[in-house]
Amino acid sequence: MANTKNQTRAMLVEDEENARSALVALLEDEGFAVRAAADGAEALLILKAWHPDVILTDIKMPRVDGLELLTLLETQLAAVPVIVMTAYGSIDDAVDAMRRGAADYITKPIALDRLLPAIQRVLTRAAAQAATGDLIGGRYRLEGKLGEGAMGAVYRTTQLELRRPAAIKMLNRGHDLPKARARLLREAKACAALHHPHAVQIYDVGEDDGRPYIVMELLDGEDLWSRMSAREGPLGVAAALSIGQQIASVLIAAHRVGLVHRDIKPENIFLERFGGAERVRILDFGAALIAEPSAHAPRLTQEGAVIGTPLYIAPEQALCRDVGPPADIYAFGCVLYEIVTGALPFAGSNIEVMAAHIQAAPSRPSERRVALPHALDRLIMEMLAKAPELRPTAADVESQLAAIAAGEGLAPAPWDLHAAPRHAAARVEGPT
């Protein structure tokens, strides 16, 4: 007999009829109210009149596939968590889905003892988040979700007294409050210490009903990963040189004041539309390592914890060793590699990729893209050196990229990379 206690509404999107029928039966037996569709197009028709609490979708489907569905749901049902179902070993699909906003993924064949906990996880996380329309701190009205992760979400907001648009990052309820507060404070301190045109300005830090938050400027544009995904191939040498010089500029400033970002990746590199041009902004200093002057300053990460994203992680980070500026240079090298080739240095599962970062030699970018300046090919490989001391500094990278651009007859990066520090009173509008 079906469990009538569970009133959770679940949308199931699966093109294989037998698998779809079996999953519907399993979920209904657990008391879920289930609607099923054979592909994303059929699911979108159902979702016009019926809103589920959770969506489970396959990825490889005819017409609208799971990845396309995720993109469309970001604008139509952003508050509904999506779990993607992938074939065993399809780690690239899972990574792509998570980047597009999936709340979790589960590998096939689907077993109930893994599916139910996954559903519970994403529903618990969704319930802990703020909602559009909420008034935060008595002065920030939430207007829509810009993105989310395992710990919280970023929303568009307006500061009511000043009528100033902004972005607000809120951590979910249920997280260790002292650690959550410390993480956001660390991000605010990191950005405040930079005062750099390629960093993000922080407006406020606070706490609302047990949820720490940080308010920052709202940027207009897209992140580098979205740009590369839309292109479905390498962005090219000119883009690598322009974007690279701007990334190097902010890393020079960060490393100079003792900041190590520790999570440089395309999702944290924002291409801002500003004044008819475009400039790079570095996001999410929440994982940053800050050189504290006090021996009594609290450690914000546990000994042995891996900080960073496996696809871009430096060998010393993967080995849970002490990290410094060279770790950012390694991740930066991975990003440049991806910009010029359209591929990452290493692929595979998280464990396989981290093992490769530690011990495997990547193929040269020029082996994947023949028309690549030799100096750029050499620089990227130097940035990917296994030993931290063999990597160039951010200043070295910036000067070499500028020299390569000059040699290629390309215009300088569109922004003054050595502009005077931005002051808090400066008007810079725009999100993160």
How many alpha carbons fall within 13 Å on the CB side of residue 384? Answer: 27
What six digits make up the tokens of 287? 């994982």
Whether 323 and 289 have beta carbons less than 8 Å apart is answered as yes
Q: Check 53, 263, 284, 328 and give the catalytic one.
A: 263
Q: What are phi and psi of 100, to 5 degrees?
A: -85, 5
The owner of tokens 């010089």 is 245
What's the burial of 88, exposed, middle or buried (CB within 10 Å: 0-12/13-18/19+)?
exposed
Residue 302 is classified by DSSP as: -
**In a 3-state reduction of DSSP, which class is residue 214?**
strand
Clarify whether 176 is annotated catalytic: no
User: Which residues contact residue 192 at a Cβ distance below 8 angstroms, ignoring those fewer than 6 apart?
Assistant: 202
What six digits make up the tokens of 244? 């690279």
* HEC per residue, 76-132: HCCCCCEEEEECCCCHHHHHHHHHCCCCEEEECCCCHHHHHHHHHHHHHHHHCCCCC
Strands 9-13 and 54-58: parallel
Distance (Å, whole) CA 410 – CA 398: 15
Which helix (H) or strand (E) is 71 found in, with range?
Answer: helix 66-76
Q: What is the DSSP string of 38-53?
A: SSHHHHHHHHTT---S
Where residue 426 falls (left for φ over 0; alpha for ψ -120 to 50; beta otherwise) is beta
Distance (Å, whole) CA 272 – CA 268: 12
Query: Is the link from the previous residue into 345 a cis peptide, with omega within 30 of 0?
Result: no
Amino acid at 144: G
**Of 366, 95, 353, residue with least CA distance to 234:** 366
Question: Which residues are known to be catalytic?
Answer: 263
